[in-house]
């Protein structure tokens, strides 16, 4: 578990700090992730206060964002406690990756991409290589299978 030094807080509700911004309705407020466990932001700093995080609004159902200590996040106080709505990105800060839809395809633009499950990975590396690691590799094709390369090595 990652963490930054912070002043412990007991029973604190972010509602007071959020209301001080001047809105009667729920508002988003920026905060700093102080402690994270496996990508979940456990505690955040709002000003000089430390607040426990009740939950995270996921970008897609079943897909969790990965937060790190030091991330700036947007939060709101809810009936369930403080919820993290997402990471904040400043205007001139470079994005680690960009996701877009073009020609009915999802395009992920990053230095590298890794799809990982418990026993297998597929990596698109920055140097142009594709690495597949698995217990067993299965290729199924309804048509001809073509493998092209300047040199093709088999065991």
Under 8 Å CB-to-CB from 90, ≥6 apart: which residues? none
Asked if 31 contacts 44 with a C-beta cutoff of 8 angstroms, the reply is yes
Q: How confident is the model at residue 96 (pLDDT cuts 50, 70, 90)?
A: confident
Cα 64–chain centre separation = 6
pTM: 0.56
Residue extents of the structural domains in the chain: 2-87, 97-133
pLDDT tens-digit series, residues 126-153 = 999 999 999 998 889 999 999 888 898 8
d(CA 39, CA 59): 14
Q: In terms of C-beta distances under 8 Å and separation of at least 24 residues, what long-range contacts does 94-97 make, across chains too?
A: none
Taking CA atoms, 110 is separated from 57, 59, 60, 113, in Å, by 24, 18, 20, 7
pLDDT tens-digit series, residues 26-69 = 577 889 999 999 889 999 999 888 999 999 987 777 777 788 89
d(CA 21, CA 86): 19
């Amino acid at each position: 578990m990652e963490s930054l030094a912070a002043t412990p807080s007991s029973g604190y509700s972010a509602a007071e700090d959020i209301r001080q911004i001047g809105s009667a309705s729920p508002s988003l407020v920026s905060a700093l992730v102080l402690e994270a466990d496996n990508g979940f932001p456990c505690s955040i700093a709002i000003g000089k206060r430390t607040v426990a995080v009740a939950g995270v609004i996921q970008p897609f159902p079943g897909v969790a964002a990965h937060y790190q200590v030091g991330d700036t996040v947007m939060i709101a106080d809810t009936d369930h406690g403080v919820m993290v709505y997402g990471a904040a990105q400043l205007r001139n800060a470079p994005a680690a990756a960009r996701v877009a839809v073009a020609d009915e395809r999802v395009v992920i633009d990053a230095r590298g991409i890794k799809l990982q499950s418990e026993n297998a990975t597929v990596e698109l590396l920055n140097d142009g290589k594709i690495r597949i690691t698995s217990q067993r590799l299965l290729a199924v094709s309804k048509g001809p299978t073509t493998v092209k390369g300047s040199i093709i090595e088999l065991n």
